[in-house]
Homo-oligomer: A and B are copies of this chain.
């Protein structure tokens, strides 16, 4: 009997990139609010999603340092399971409900790719960094305090895809006023057999379900964000026309399920 939630399937199931949920995550995050060209957002949305007219092109660019564990003490194997991620979320509506949609996401870990694709996150490999907040006092410590500056960056294949900086101004009492939309994705897996290469067997609009979501230690401040034009990448189409607030926060949740909003393949 071969085991594994994802490939590779093996008798002992240790090699699988992903094991069965629950999957538990905790992270430090830098998130930048910004506004992109509404037409570019329109062009990225899959069927069933429409751009949120009230948002005026609002989007968030996130950088995350993640720690992951499933049920086998994975958090003590950080070389395999700790990872970094960056993604864009654009604001849309689904049947009238405000949601985020994730058109671009980069991660530095293969288990992260396997779990992400299973949910619908279109993950590619990238190299992601963010300034961290250390507890030992020093000019290098970046404490969670007014005036602290954080930088963050994303690169793939040696091209810088996004660079951000924020400067903390004040603690945010109620994070739910800022981060209040569920996230939708397109779950997609292609077919290579000739004649069916444009008929993907998996092609769904999905909704991320986050159990026990915790958002803590949220600070807001001023922000800068660049998403430069790069050969071989399309993300520049949603580059910032205007940048809003920057946020630095902690976030945790668990994943045990996924909601399928639409099955395009049916």
Contacts and interface: CB of A to CB of B under 8 A. Distances in A.
Contacts of A257: 192-194
Nearest to A115: B192
Interface string A20-48: 11001111100000000000000110100
A188 B7 contact: yes
A250 B155 contact: no
B6 A141 contact: no
B26 A192 contact: no
Interface residues of A, number: 109
A10 B103 contact: yes
Interface string A76-116: 11111010000000000000000000011100011001000
B233 A82 contact: no
Nearest to A217: B135
Interface stretch (A52-60, A61-69, A176-184): A61-69
A242 interface: no
Contacts of A227: none
Contact of A260 (B136, B141, B193): B193
Nearest to A148: B75
Contacts of A245: none
Given A79-B129, A130-B78, A44 B138 contact: no
A51 interface: no
B250 A135 contact: yes
13 contacts: A8-B122, A17-B124, A20-B197, A24-B138, A28-B135, A69-B140, A75-B149, A76-B150, A77-B232, A118-B189, A138-B212, A138-B252, A158-B158
